[in-house]
């Protein structure tokens, strides 16, 4: 940086939509241009004209969360606040972080703000699964204390849909407070599935099989429909929430009118307050429309904490002990505090990309696009106006279209939820993917963490993504490596 | 604030670009690692437009060595104080009376004063909070699940102590096992569990908990309660000892690793200071209590000792930087920083002195402060100053060429 002119301040706000280069990213690009002009390397590093025309400037691509990007690449990469919070907002963030991290305890306790755990629950805190605001992994065996996977339940209904399980409800809670029986447990077995790339290189996928046992260790029954899920990473949700619904819906192609084999559907769910249809955005099947809804549902189903948005305890009519179990007030987390957790979740920043502009990653980005991956893992979205500056009208690169796609029988859970069928999943964002191992110490991917690496996750793609997977598998090894290098840079 | 953050980010990204945009473009260089740089990105850091001034490796080693001595000495003093607590507890349990209960409470309060400053030795996955086997959760978990341990206001039969059938014999090993049975630790051991068994639930508006000594004499589970209390004290001493030994100048395993990389060591020191200041103390312990306004949403809620805890933590941040602790000699990080960035050293020293003084000026008990207008103002100001102090620490780290973040 020696000799470079001091960065100038970004121009005033309010012109964002007409100005694709944003804030920090624009500055960085300007600086890079300045530093190279006239120098020995002035002509260097230019990608070929065709790809150059397609790729945005490196600084823009690095700032994948727009102004809500932070350049932290360590274990705390998913846990940073967006830049520019004022002292009050910083306090809200701290309070939300606290209620996200700290354990809930059995009621009654002296810490009345933090009691009400269960009576049935999967975890005592949000952070026990979303460790460091990151992504969970499934347990490796019955003795593995890893608890980042839970199972949604259902039984087939007469009309072909799925009803909640009559005894256990919509989710298996495998833990409970003293005096209330837990619901049961999950047994996971796996089968190795060998395959080969077009060039003959072998690979192996690991297919999981799930069995749900009741509290006495008996199988729950063949008719039970289960959907295993791991806890996804938390950052960037405020940005995804801010993408106007109209833009998401406009990108949908439910009947594949363009004939590209990809028929993204906009997930429409019912707003619990108004009864009106709204866009579903969060959860593996996009059943929750807002960050607040997602948080309230997880508090209730996963920790047994009721809130103004989800006032009912996680007990069915058949679970008398649960219904009579200890409750921590009504609701157990009040609206203002749930609001702090929502604020915290909305303002978790997106980590900056690394190695943007390097040959392997840029080449990988092109191959990724050419293979058709970017048809669903869309390169850019724009957010609308927001009350938090860093989220306001940003060009972002989450690598998702926020739509539902049929991912084929290999990944299907057979359990419809919200607007999604038993074979559909919402395209998960890919930003931050390359930091997963640094933050969470693993590389387990997909809805149930079955993929042990990014490569395996790609190879599991089926349904609408089958053609892209086949193209990936047909690539020369160097191009496959480039795609993985690109994904590791996110 | 906002502009400086943007500038930092811009500088960082620009650096990343400079590393690659001007490099040779060699099509044959398949798989080349890009030479990129990631800027320091602490929340709110603003030293991005200053060139980094790295420490001389020898000076960094000197500061890291003094810090390692400090950590060992402070934990050793904590083990001594916790052992005195254990002795007071055992004396009380052997022959329970009011005087013995008071002596045990006083020993707990005294030991907390020694332990408080050591919390700055967290947040970099060292022996205390190594994600694999660090005992921090077992030592200092909060909030604690009272009903998991003993009776509570609305449930006279709650907890392991009242469950002779489920847990026939109470031992330290058994408590650890039960604690981990649910797959998550942290509910029934450590300082606050001992505090709960000494003071009991704080059900009054203007005083600490008032557990009657008869809980240990006339109760049907008096002996079990005493056994639980003794086991907790034993466990606390054992856990603190294991942490101390990792830092032993005579063969402590972690100490050796720590000193092997002086740059990482100094990064860790600053990370511990910044995360305790902005995240744990300023955020979690002060601003959260301020914001929730719950009288018992404070850490030592049974004993009303939270104000002293705050002072201990604030002092710890100062001490990590100055190494000013009885029995510790050598070059402090402050001295080393002053050699390369005297103005940043002065700014941080000033801030540290002010936050410690502001913590000491809080009039206990903390729960009363939270409901009183001028008290609330003082609490909020201290919390915000500690968060700003975290920024100063992150700036200083960035100037030395280190990246720290303030998250916890």
Q: From CA B288, how far away is CA B386, in angstroms rounded?
A: 13
Residue A461 reports pLDDT greater than 80? yes
Question: Minimal CA–CA distance to B119: which of B303, B320, B267?
Answer: B320
Q: Which of residues 186-205 of B touch A (CB under 8 A)?
A: 186-187, 201-202
- Greater confidence, A103 or A339? A339
Q: Does B226 reach chain A within 8 Å, measured CB to CB?
A: no
| pLDDT score, position A374 | 96
How does DSSP classify residue A463? G
Q: Are B17 and A29 in contact (CB under 8 A)?
A: yes
Q: From CA A412, how far away is CA A423, in angstroms rounded?
A: 4
Q: Which residues lie below 8 Å from residue A161, measured CB to CB, with a gap of 6+? A: A416
% of chain A with per-residue pLDDT over 90 = 79
Least confident of A7-16, A235-244, B13-22, B121-130: A7-16
| pLDDT score, position B367 | 85
What ipTM was predicted for this assembly? 0.78
Distances (CA, A) of A253 to A288, B181, B262: 21, 49, 57
β-strands A350-351, A69-70 pairing: parallel
| pLDDT score, position B52 | 87
How close A13 comes to chain B (CA, Å)? 12
% of chain A with per-residue pLDDT over 70 = 89
User: Using a CB-CB distance cutoff of 8 angstroms, which residues of chain A are in contact with residue B14?
Assistant: 1, 4, 7, 27-28, 31-32, 35, 59
User: Using a CB-CB distance cutoff of 8 angstroms, which residues of chain B are in contact with residue A31?
Assistant: 10-11, 14, 17-18
| pLDDT score, position B37 | 32
Mean of pLDDT values over B110-126: 97
* Beta-bridge partner residues of A382: A395
* A79–B407 CB contact, under 8 Å: yes
Residue A15 reports pLDDT greater than 90? no
Element (H, E) at B153: none
Per the prediction, chain B carries an average pLDDT of: 86
- Greater confidence, B367 or B261? B261
User: Using a CB-CB distance cutoff of 8 angstroms, which residues of chain A are in contact with residue B30?
Assistant: 359-360, 478
| pLDDT score, position A1 | 30
User: Using a CB-CB distance cutoff of 8 angstroms, which residues of chain A are in contact with residue B394?
Assistant: none
pLDDT-derived band at B50 (thresholds 50, 70, 90) equals low
Chain A residue with Cα closest to B15:
A1
Confidence (pTM): 0.84
Q: Does B10 reach chain A within 8 Å, measured CB to CB?
A: yes
Least confident of A49-58, A274-283, A397-406, A432-441: A49-58
Q: Which of residues 335-364 of B touch A (CB under 8 A)?
A: none
Condensed to tens digits (0 to 9), the pLDDT of residues A62-101 reads: 999 999 999 999 999 999 999 999 999 999 999 999 999 9
Provide φ and ψ at A408, rounded to 5°. 85, 170
Cross-chain CB nearest to A84 (options B5, B13, B21): B5
How close B78 comes to chain A (CA, Å)? 25
Mean of pLDDT values over A150-178: 93
pLDDT-derived band at B181 (thresholds 50, 70, 90) equals low
Q: From CA A269, how far away is CA A436, in angstroms rounded?
A: 30
Q: Which residues lie below 8 Å from residue A53, measured CB to CB, with a gap of 6+? A: none
Give the other-Cβ count within 10 Å of A58's Cβ: 26
Residue B116 reports pLDDT greater than 80? yes
What are the structure tokens assigned to A67, written together? Answer: 């102004």
pLDDT-derived band at B220 (thresholds 50, 70, 90) equals very high
Q: Are A307 and A333 in contact (CB under 8 A)?
A: yes
Q: Are B4 and A46 in contact (CB under 8 A)?
A: no
Chain centroid to CA A7: 34
Q: From CA B408, how far away is CA B387, in angstroms rounded?
A: 13
Residue A5 reports pLDDT greater than 80? no
Q: From CA A165, how far away is CA A64, in angstroms rounded?
A: 41
The residue assigned the tokens 């806890």 is A231
| pLDDT score, position B146 | 87
Query: How large is the angle between the packed helices B333-340 and B306-322, nearest 10 degrees?
Result: 50
Condensed to tens digits (0 to 9), the pLDDT of residues A177-189 reads: 988 999 999 999 9
How close B279 comes to chain A (CA, Å)? 7
Residue B336 reports pLDDT greater than 60? yes
Q: Are A152 and A141 in contact (CB under 8 A)?
A: no
How close B352 comes to chain A (CA, Å)? 19
Q: Which residues lie below 8 Å from residue B218, measured CB to CB, with a gap of 6+? A: none
Residue B60 reports pLDDT greater than 80? yes
Chain B residue with Cα closest to A63:
B13
Greatest CA separation for chain B: 84
Mean of pLDDT values over B378-386: 97
- With b for 16 or more beta-carbon neighbours within 10 A and e for fewer, the A412-436 pattern comes to bbebbbbbbbbbbbbbbbbbbbbbb
pLDDT-derived band at A446 (thresholds 50, 70, 90) equals very high
Q: Which of A219-228, B32-41, B107-116 has the highest mean pLDDT?
A: B107-116
Residue B16 reports pLDDT greater than 50? no
* Beta-bridge partner residues of B152: B155
Q: Dump the DSSP string for A390-445.
A: GGTT-EE--S----EEE--TTT-----BTTB-TTEEEPPP-TTGGGHHHHHS---B
Q: Are B65 and B249 in contact (CB under 8 A)?
A: no
| pLDDT score, position B295 | 62
Query: How large is the angle between the packed helices B333-340 and B262-274, nearest 10 degrees?
Result: 100
Cross-chain CB nearest to B405 (options A35, A76, A113): A76
How close A91 comes to chain B (CA, Å)? 6
What are the structure tokens assigned to B45, written together? Answer: 């850091």
- Chains A, B: CB contacts within 8 A come to 289
pLDDT-derived band at B380 (thresholds 50, 70, 90) equals very high
| pLDDT score, position B185 | 45
Q: Are B198 and B150 in contact (CB under 8 A)?
A: no
Name all contacts of B288-291 with Cβ < 8 Å and 24+ positions apart: B288/A94, B288/A95, B288/A98, B289/B366, B289/B370, B289/B379, B290/A91, B290/B370, B290/B376, B290/B379, B290/B380, B290/B383, B291/A91, B291/A92, B291/A94, B291/A95, B291/A340
Per the prediction, chain A carries an average pLDDT of: 88
Q: Which of residues 86-145 of B touch A (CB under 8 A)?
A: 125, 131, 141-145
Q: Dump the DSSP string for A183-203.
A: -EEEEEEEEEEEEE-TTS-EE
Residue A361 reports pLDDT greater than 60? yes
Q: Which of residues 11-40 of B touch A (CB under 8 A)?
A: 11-18, 20-27, 29-34, 36, 38-40
Q: From CA A72, how far away is CA A83, in angstroms rounded?
A: 12
Cross-chain CB nearest to A24 (options B13, B26, B180): B13
How does DSSP classify residue A169? B
Q: Does B293 reach chain A within 8 Å, measured CB to CB?
A: no
Mean of pLDDT values over A320-331: 92
pLDDT-derived band at B179 (thresholds 50, 70, 90) equals confident
| pLDDT score, position A339 | 97
Mean of pLDDT values over B294-320: 89
Residue B351 reports pLDDT greater than 90? yes
pLDDT-derived band at B177 (thresholds 50, 70, 90) equals confident
pLDDT-derived band at A146 (thresholds 50, 70, 90) equals low
Residue A8: strand, helix, or coil: coil
Chain A residue with Cα closest to B181:
A145
Mean of pLDDT values over A149-157: 94
Provide φ and ψ at B111, rounded to 5°. -70, -35
Q: From CA A450, how far away is CA A189, in angstroms rounded?
A: 11
């Amino acid at each position: 940086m020696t000799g470079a002119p001091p960065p100038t301040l970004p121009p005033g706000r309010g012109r964002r939509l007409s100005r694709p280069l944003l804030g920090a990213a624009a500055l960085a690009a300007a600086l890079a241009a300045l530093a190279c002009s006239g120098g020995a390397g002035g002509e260097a590093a230019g990608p070929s004209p065709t790809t150059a025309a397609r790729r945005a400037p490196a600084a823009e691509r690095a700032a994948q969360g727009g102004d809500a990007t932070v350049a932290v690449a360590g274990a705390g990469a998913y846990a940073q606040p967006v830049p520019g919070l004022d002292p009050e907002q910083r306090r809200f963030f701290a309070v939300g972080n606290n209620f996200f991290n700290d354990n809930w305890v059995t009621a009654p306790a002296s810490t009345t703000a933090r009691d009400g755990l269960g009576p049935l629950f999967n975890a005592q805190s949000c952070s026990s699964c979303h460790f460091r605001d990151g992504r969970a992994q499934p347990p490796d065996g019955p003795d593995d204390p890893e608890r980042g996977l839970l199972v949604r339940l259902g039984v087939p209904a007469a009309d072909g849909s799925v009803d909640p399980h009559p005894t256990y409800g919509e989710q298996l809670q495998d833990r409970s407070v003293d005096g209330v029986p837990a619901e049961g447990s999950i047994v996971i077995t796996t089968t190795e599935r060998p395959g080969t790339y077009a060039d003959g290189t072998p690979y192996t996928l690991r297919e999981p099989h799930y069995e749900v046992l009741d509290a006495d260790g008996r199988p729950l029954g063949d008719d039970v429909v289960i959907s295993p899920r791991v806890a996804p990473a938390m950052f960037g949700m405020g940005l995804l929430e801010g993408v106007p619904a109209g833009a998401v819906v406009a990108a949908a192609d439910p009947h594949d009118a363009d004939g590209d084999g990809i028929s993204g559907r906009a997930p429409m769910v019912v707003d619990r307050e108004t009864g009106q249809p709204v866009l579903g955005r969060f959860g593996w099947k996009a059943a929750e429309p807002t960050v607040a809804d997602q948080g309230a549902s997880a508090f209730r189903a996963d920790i047994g904490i009721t809130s103004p948005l989800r006032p009912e305890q996680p007990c069915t009519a058949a679970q008398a002990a649960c219904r009579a179990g200890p409750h921590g007030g009504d609701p157990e987390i009040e609206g203002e505090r749930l609001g702090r957790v929502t604020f915290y979740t909305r303002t978790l920043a997106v980590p900056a990309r690394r190695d943007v502009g390097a040959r392997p990653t840029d080449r990988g980005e092109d191959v990724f696009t050419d293979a058709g991956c970017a048809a669903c893992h869309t390169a850019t979205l724009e957010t609308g106006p927001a009350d938090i500056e860093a989220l306001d009208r940003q060009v972002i690169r989450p690598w998702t279209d926020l739509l539902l796609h049929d991912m084929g029988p290999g990944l299907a859970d057979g359990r419809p939820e919200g607007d999604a069928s038993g074979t559909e999943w919402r395209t998960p964002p890919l930003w931050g993917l390359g930091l997963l191992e640094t933050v969470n110490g693993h590389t387990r991917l997909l809805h149930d963490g079955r993929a042990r690496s990014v490569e395996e996750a790609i190879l599991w793609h089926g349904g609408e993504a089958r053609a892209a997977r086949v193209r990936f598998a047909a690539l020369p090894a160097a191009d496959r490596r480039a795609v993985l290098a690109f994904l590791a840079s996110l | 604030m906002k502009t400086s953050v943007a500038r930092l980010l811009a500088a960082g990204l620009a650096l990343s670009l400079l590393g690659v945009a001007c490099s040779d473009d060699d099509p044959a260089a398949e798989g080349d690692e890009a030479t990129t740089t990631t800027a320091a990105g602490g929340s709110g850091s603003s030293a991005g437009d200053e060139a980094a001034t790295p420490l001389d490796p020898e000076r960094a080693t000197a500061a890291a060595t003094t810090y390692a001595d400090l950590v060992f000495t402070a934990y050793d003093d904590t083990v001594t104080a916790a052992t005195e607590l254990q002795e007071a507890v055992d004396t009380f349990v052997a022959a329970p009376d009011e005087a013995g209960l008071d002596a045990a409470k006083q020993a707990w309060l005294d030991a907390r004063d020694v332990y408080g400053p050591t919390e700055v030795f967290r947040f970099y996955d060292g022996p205390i909070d190594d994600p694999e086997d660090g005992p921090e959760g077992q030592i200092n978990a909060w909030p604690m699940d009272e009903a998991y341990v003993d009776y509570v206001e609305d449930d006279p039969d709650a907890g392991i102590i009242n469950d002779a059938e489920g847990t026939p014999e109470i031992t330290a090993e058994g408590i650890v096992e039960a604690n981990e049975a649910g797959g998550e630790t942290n509910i029934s051991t450590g300082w606050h569990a001992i505090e709960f068994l000494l003071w009991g639930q704080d059900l009054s508006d203007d005083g600490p908990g008032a557990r009657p000594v008869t809980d240990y004499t006339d109760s049907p589970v008096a002996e079990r309660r005493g056994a639980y209390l003794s086991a907790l004290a034993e466990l606390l001493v054992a856990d603190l000892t294991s942490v101390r030994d990792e830092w032993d100048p005579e063969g402590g395993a972690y100490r050796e690793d720590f000193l092997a990389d002086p740059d990482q060591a100094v990064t860790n020191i600053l990370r511990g200071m910044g995360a305790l200041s902005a995240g744990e103390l300023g955020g979690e312990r002060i601003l959260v209590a301020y914001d929730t306004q719950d009288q018992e949403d404070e850490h030592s809620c049974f004993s009303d000792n939270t104000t002293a805890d705050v002072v201990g933590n604030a002092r710890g941040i100062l001490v990590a930087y100055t190494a000013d602790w009885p029995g510790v000699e050598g070059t402090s990080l402050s001295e080393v920083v002053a050699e390369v960035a005297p103005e940043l050293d002065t700014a941080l020293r000033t801030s540290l002195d002010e936050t410690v003084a502001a913590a000491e000026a809080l009039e206990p008990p903390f729960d009363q402060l939270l409901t009183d207008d001028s008290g609330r103002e003082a609490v909020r100001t201290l919390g915000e100053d500690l968060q700003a102090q975290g920024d100063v620490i992150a700036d200083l780290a960035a100037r030395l060429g280190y990246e720290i973040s303030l998250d916890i």
